Amino acid sequence: MKTVLMATDLSARSDRAFDRAVKLARAHDARLYVVHIVDQALPEQIAEAQKEAAAENILEHIETIAKDADHVIRADVKTGKSSAGIVEYAKSVDADLIVLGIHNMSYENPFRGTTSEKIIRMGDVPVLVVSARARKNYNRVLAAVDFSIHSRCALQCVLDLVPDAELHLVHAYDIPFAGFMHGSETGAQVKKDAERRIKNMVKDEMASILGPLGLDMAKVKPVLKRGPVTQVIRKEATRVKPDLLALGTHGRTGIAHAFLGSVAEDLLGNPPCDVLAVKAW
């Protein structure tokens, strides 16, 4: 990882993201860009005043938190649309990771419509959404695995980001037509046989993706759980207590998203810890 981009809205929730971005940049000897986007819809005079105030605020923060790392930090204030401006800026600096603060809202769908959601959907750069204080490096990662190209890319991103962390892999599965198998010993046996076949298939699939990634298998703890994906991930997060949750996400938009939903959206609406969302494209 060579370049980290931290996007700030100058709120208190962005402070935690800034601290984490500094830690990651130091750990990887990477360049750190800090950007704030001023709304282009504002009158020119007000926008210019906000740009000056934002630049001063960011520089003060850099001096306070990252004195010994300011040689790798560049602060920028741009005018544009918040999410689109961040995605464009990430492309311009060839960012390997975008770091954002969590939007702490209380209504029914707290993640939907936020800048974080739009950046994940619009861009193709991994996005780290920070909710916890950066008191230490990431030591324990929980990665959700569904064997799609997106989850494979998420695993690769985790290895690049925190190669020495303990890695827990969780896969949620279900038994097709299980609802039609109850009521008899034959049905119970069929269900048991189906579950065994699914577990074997999942283990084989896990082995096929872990091998090429060059993982230290002593640090990998795979878990197979039956149940709804989001529910299984949250239960494992409660049990494992990870510092970081990694998700591959399709980032669907429009009608496809309305019908299919998004595990990433559900989890980011009320994150159990910092969340890394990764798309394959």
- Per-residue pLDDT at 266 exceeds 90: no
Query: Mean pLDDT across the stretch 219-239?
Result: 88
Rounded to 5 degrees, what angle do the CA atoms 222, 227, 228 make? 105
Residue 12 pLDDT: 75
Query: Tell me: the pLDDT tens digits for 1-48?
Result: 899 999 998 877 788 999 999 999 989 999 999 999 998 888 888 888
For residues 57 and 216, the model is more confident at 57
Sorting pLDDT into bands at 50, 70 and 90, what band is 175?
low
Q: Mean pLDDT over all residues of the chain?
A: 80
Domains of the chain, CATH where assigned: 1-135 (3.40.50.620), 136-281 (3.40.50.620)
Query: Tell me: the pLDDT tens digits for 123-161?
Result: 889 999 999 998 899 999 999 888 788 888 888 899 899
Q: pTM for this one?
A: 0.83
- Per-residue pLDDT at 254 exceeds 50: no
Sorting pLDDT into bands at 50, 70 and 90, what band is 72?
low
Query: Mean pLDDT across the stretch 226-231?
Result: 88
Residue 234 pLDDT: 95
Sorting pLDDT into bands at 50, 70 and 90, what band is 255?
very low
Among the residue ranges 3-12, 89-98, 119-128, 171-180, the one predicted with the least confidence is 171-180
CA Rg, the chain, in Å?
A: 21
Residue 202 pLDDT: 65
Decide if 92 contacts 121 (C-beta within 8 A): no
**What is the three-state SS of 212-251?**
HHCCCHHHEEEEEEECCHHHHHHHHHHHHCCCEEEEECCC
Query: Mean pLDDT across the stretch 80-87?
Result: 90
